[in-house]
Structure 1
């Protein structure tokens, strides 16, 4: 019986192998979606809901440059295991780099997304929430 037929909760799929064995770009792919959803939910929880404003604010969080900066905030707080995942994500060879992103920022943003994907798949939701809260706290200090 498939997960669809078992009436499983949303996002209940498990990887077909251990998360630390997945390609770091696959983890970054997941991490990008999780992070984007988290930021959108945060912004919607605030009072200003005009779509243009939401999009403008979201770019402060989700650009390669912003994610690279947030990774720097996280680095002193990461365990050895988390640092290893960050290294794997940073060193992953992507087929392309966006035109509007610096190569170093892009690699660090990939590492950032890779760690998010890894923690999500490991079901370390408390740890992931703790790290994501650091981003929100930093943002709210600046507004």
Structure 2
């Protein structure tokens, strides 16, 4: 029997503007090892921020999913229309995957306590129907 995890997937809306959105998917935990390209532990400083950006394709592997598992602290992700972004918080135990390689992108900001996370790069894009 395989274990399931809930993943918040940052992806493009299926609209001409391709604004970013967050949808929740369920996936087998095996996806974290079966499709693994690389894994690293990261410690991010409090309030570090990054403006609108995309989940770029990898130069060797092509489309990839950037999966972040929050271990301590957390971070905000901002999605939607760039003129009116909506804020979403992800704390300990959260899994967030970024696959928005096109469109307007998303922004992010580390929470006030910083963030310790496991960063994984997986082959291919996780899909909303996963």
* TM-score in terms of structure 2 length: 0.23
Q: Greater share of strand residues, 1 or 2?
A: 2
Q: Greater share of helix residues, 1 or 2?
A: 1
* TM-score in terms of structure 1 length: 0.22
Structure of greater Rg:
1
